[in-house]
Amino acid sequence: MATIVAPARGAVQRDRFFLTTSFAMAFVVLAGFSLQFVMGRSTFAAPVVVHVHAVVFMGWVAIYVLQNVFAASGSLRLHQRLGWIAAGWTIAMVVMGIFVTVRLVRLGHAPFFFTPLQFVVLNPVNIFAFAGLTAAAIVKRRQTEWHRRLHFCGMALLLGPAFGRLLPMPLLIPYAFEVTFLAVMIFPLLGVVHDWRRRGAVHPAFVWGIGVVVGSTALTDAITYSPVGAALYRVVTAGSPGADVAPLAYPPFPDAPLIAGRPASM
């Protein structure tokens, strides 16, 4: 074990790319959600479930940054212990991500720059793709180069909502989804550039990670514009105000400030 761990520790300490980018990703998240609050588009008056969702997902950002700090400083025992907490945390993220998405769509309160059906497909596909990358990273935990790149791509995939709060989404209709995808790809492409400069070749983990990010985007579109998507929307919204909302029509621009998790009229 010592012969395996020692070189990995030295390699991690010498390569600060993943530590630096973890701080950059955290900054994107904090900037996006802080801007929402400053602009009056977010409020502490949101329902409790929205706050729980925020704590769970912000908690993952903190875990990701700490894991990179521990790895870069050689604190691999702390890294390993927190890693098992992170594995359980991922389950909470999947549950809360899907629950809040369904709740918003049932209220007829999907973001107006996405179609309701696109939104109800997008979030679950992304959260399952993230969970898949995280699971693969855990399986590859003894192969450092695979482990950290898979986690890196998983974290990048979660940046969509943060970029969506920084980009002028209403002006990007009907291409808000595609533009957000391009923004999410910034970090994986930086990873590719890093590998080319440092290694002279792209590590296969980035090929798989980027493949999952691109594949999740393609799958979202494929389901959204298929009979499966239409059926899914009917099941999700049955017996709720969302059932009266056209699944593939962009909702009208809100005429009042929105409170996350509540219809504008509440």
Q: Average pLDDT, stretch 211-234? A: 97
* pLDDT surpassing 50 at residue 122: yes
pLDDT at 49: 85
Per the rule left: phi > 0, alpha: psi between -120 and 50, beta: everything else, 97 is alpha
Domain ranges of the chain: 10-241
pLDDT at 24: 98
Mean pLDDT of the chain: 88
> Please, which pLDDT band fits residue 44 given cuts at 50, 70 and 90?
low
Which ranges in the chain belong to alpha helices (H)?
A: 2-14, 17-38, 48-73, 76-106, 116-139, 144-157, 160-166, 169-172, 176-184, 186-199, 204-224, 227-237
* pLDDT surpassing 90 at residue 26: yes
* pLDDT surpassing 60 at residue 220: yes
**pTM (predicted TM-score):** 0.88
pLDDT at 51: 83
Percent of the chain with pLDDT over 70: 86
Among 43-47, 197-201, 248-252, the minimum mean pLDDT is found in 43-47
> Please, which pLDDT band fits residue 35 given cuts at 50, 70 and 90?
confident
What tokens appear for 86 in the block? Answer: 């992170």
Contact 246, 117 (CB under 8 A): no
* pLDDT surpassing 70 at residue 6: no
Q: What is the largest CA-CA distance in the chain?
A: 63
> Please, which pLDDT band fits residue 119 given cuts at 50, 70 and 90?
very high
Q: Average pLDDT, stretch 250-261? A: 63
Burial of 186 (0-12, 13-18, 19+ CB in 10 A): middle
* pLDDT surpassing 90 at residue 260: no
> Please, which pLDDT band fits residue 40 given cuts at 50, 70 and 90?
low
pLDDT at 48: 83
pLDDT tens readout for residues 62-117: 999 999 999 999 998 999 999 999 999 999 999 999 999 999 999 998 898 999 99
Lookup result for tokens 């890196």: 152
Q: Which residue has the higher pLDDT, 241 or 262?
A: 241
pLDDT at 7: 37
Percent of the chain with pLDDT over 90: 76
150-154 — which CB contacts under 8 Å span 24+ positions? 150/205, 150/208, 150/209, 151/64, 151/67, 152/18, 152/21, 152/187, 152/188, 152/191, 152/209, 153/188, 153/191, 153/205, 153/206, 153/208, 153/209, 153/210, 153/212, 153/213, 154/129, 154/130, 154/209
* pLDDT surpassing 60 at residue 256: no
Q: Average pLDDT, stretch 133-142? A: 95
pLDDT at 85: 94
Q: Average pLDDT, stretch 173-189? A: 96
User: Got the DSSP string for 12-37?
Assistant: HHH--HHHHHHHHHHHHHHHHHHHHH
pLDDT at 14: 54
Distance (Å, whole) CA 165 – CA 150: 25
